[in-house]
Amino acid sequence: MNDSKSIPQDMIQKTLKYRYVIYVVVALAYFFVYFHRTSTAVMAPELVKAFGIAPTALGLFSSMYFWAYALGQLPAGILADVWGARKTMSLFVLIAGIGAIVFGMAGSFNMALVGRFLVGLGVGFVYVPAMRILADWFKKDEFATYSGILLAIGNLGSLAAAAPLVALMGAIGWRSSMSSVGVISIVVAVLAYLFIRNKPRDVGGASIEQIQGLPEAGAGGAAISTSEGLKQICSSWNFWTITIMFFVFYGTIMGFQGLWAGPYLQNVFGMDKAAAGKMLMLMPIGMIFGCPLSGIISDKILKSRKKVVVIGSIIYTLTWIPLTFMGNSISTGLFSAILFLFGFFGGFFVVLYANTKENCDTQIAGTAVGFLNVFVFVGAATFQQIMGSIIAKYPVLASGLISPAAFKSAFMFCFIAMIVAIAIYLTQKEKAV
């Protein structure tokens, strides 16, 4: 047991101050993670025209980000734990920037897929190292709060990928827009390398455990190998309840917000691209409030990860009812409220990361989150493609529009999947915060 009173105050202050420098840089990188994740929803019509693709191909293109993202999650966790968050994040944000430039310059659909894959792979190495940083620089009762704030900042990226991206595309075109974002991403990669540090000791600071008077992670015991860590993770039923919930929860969010919401608004409600972009902003606005608030409720009020996730997921699931059963009979005002609530309570998924952290040893926190994220983003890719396949089974109307019945069937699939996921998650045996 450390005594925090014996730690020099200047060491404590170095940690408590410098961690916010790191947090700002990480948040800047994460802003572009979400920007790329949801940009396809407003770019979809432009991509269809540029490459002459059908709904199934559009679903493949958007999901390519998530397949690549999922592929990188376990390596990201291992690299964050072994190689360090600084090098991991810097290198792969650079790759994401290169991928965005390749996408913007793509002369064929296959080259666009390559660019999208590189973007997904690159940004796939941001969030897991970020969780490693939070574990090393922030206290246990701050983790859900700051991870929630990080998700809120990410959703500012989603906001930028709605109406602002539409405006930028109108000014310079989608290709130049993507290339510009790629250049900015490269700049962020340089900032990450210059300012991020893996541990407080790298700046002469005290560890968070020392500040709290706790044993340091791994102190007094043997280091946990990657294989042993994975065995611990896979043997935990609690981990699998989190995984199944996250697979479906995030999969349905990205199936709608990340791809099919834009085509839905334009085909069923007859909105133009600009109007749809403005409407889509309501979901990330909701998440900007929901993500940090859910973390605060979890850390400070209910002091329960499970209760917060259950409440959020149930209300989120209820927002699918009008989407599924009311179609274009929903008034614009009601639909706006639904999209905001969709984002607000959808943002409660962030607490699942804290739920994961409390169910594993701190030494393997990065590996656990990385392993979890494999399933999370496979879920996103899977739901986008399944929804695309469901929609493609319905004939295109004489007007050239996608049938409302096609969207209804896809949304019904999401609604039922959420009910099943919640039922499984309820079997989790909760640990005290």
Res. 297 pLDDT band, cuts 50 70 90: very high
Q: pLDDT (tens digit, 9 = 90+) per residue, 343-392?
A: 999 999 989 988 988 887 777 777 788 888 889 888 988 998 899 899 98
Cβ neighbours of 164 (radius 10 Å): 14
DSSP for residue 84: -
- Coil, helix or strand at residue 329: helix
Q: What is the pLDDT of residue 217?
A: 55
Among 250, 32, 41, 191, residue whose Cα is nearest residue 123: 32
Give the per-residue pLDDT at 427. Answer: 96
pLDDT digits (tens, 9 = 90+) for 212-254: 766 665 544 566 777 788 888 888 899 999 999 999 999 999 9
94 neighbors 123 (Cβ within 8 angstroms): no
- Residue located via tokens 């102190």: 219
Q: What is the DSSP letter of 395?
A: P
pLDDT of residue 7: 77
Q: How far apart are CA 223 and CA 144, in angstroms?
A: 26
**Torsion sign, CA atoms 393, 395, 397, 401:** positive
Q: Could you give all domains of the chain from N- to C-terminal order, each with its CATH number? A: 4-198+228-425 (1.20.1250.20)
Residues sharing a CB contact under 8 Å with residue 232, sequence separation 6 or more, in sequence order: 224, 360, 361, 364
Tell me the pLDDT tens digit for each residue of 250-279.
999 999 988 888 889 988 888 887 888 888
335-373 as b/e, with b when 16 or more CB fall inside 10 Å? bebbbbbbbbbbbbbbbbbbbbbbbbbbbbbbbbbbbbb
Residues of the chain with pLDDT > 90, as a percent, come to 43
Q: What percent of the chain has pLDDT over 70?
A: 95
State the Cα–Cα distance between residues 258 and 164, nearest whole angstrom: 16
In whole angstroms, how far apart are CA 195 and each of 14, 24, 64, 190, 202? 14, 10, 31, 9, 11
Which residue bears the tokens 């405006």? Answer: 167
Confidence of residue 168 (pLDDT cuts 50, 70, 90): very high
pLDDT of residue 338: 95
Residue 319 has pLDDT above 90, yes or no: yes
Q: Which has the closest alpha carbon to 33: 176, 178, 153, 115?
A: 153
